[in-house]
């Protein structure tokens, strides 16, 4: 998904998954760390 639409959209959709399906998903810091390090 991130390759097609961008990392900002991936972060936004990831937050939606956390809010709506918190018992099924976990918060990965991979994309935020990549954005912080300017690798995305």
**Which residue's entry shows tokens 């097609």?**
4
Q: Which positions ≥6 away from 14 have C-beta within 8 Å?
A: 27, 28, 31
For 4-8, 16-20, 25-29, which range has the lowest pLDDT when averaged over its residues?
A: 4-8
For the chain, the maximum distance between any two Cα atoms, rounded to a whole number of angstroms, is: 31
Assess whether pLDDT exceeds 80 at residue 4: no
Q: What value does the mean pLDDT of the chain take?
A: 85
Residue 39 pLDDT grade (very low, low, confident, very high; cuts 50, 70, 90): confident
C-alpha–C-alpha distance, residues 40 and 5, integer Å: 12
pTM exceeds 0.95 for this model: no
Contact 18, 10 (CB under 8 A): no
Q: Identify the CA nearest to 40 among candidates 26, 32, 13.
A: 32
């Amino acid at each position: 998904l991130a390759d097609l639409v961008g990392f900002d959209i991936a972060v936004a959709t990831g937050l939606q998954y956390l809010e709506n399906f918190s018992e099924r998903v976990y918060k990965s810091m991979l994309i935020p760390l990549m954005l912080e390090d300017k690798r995305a």
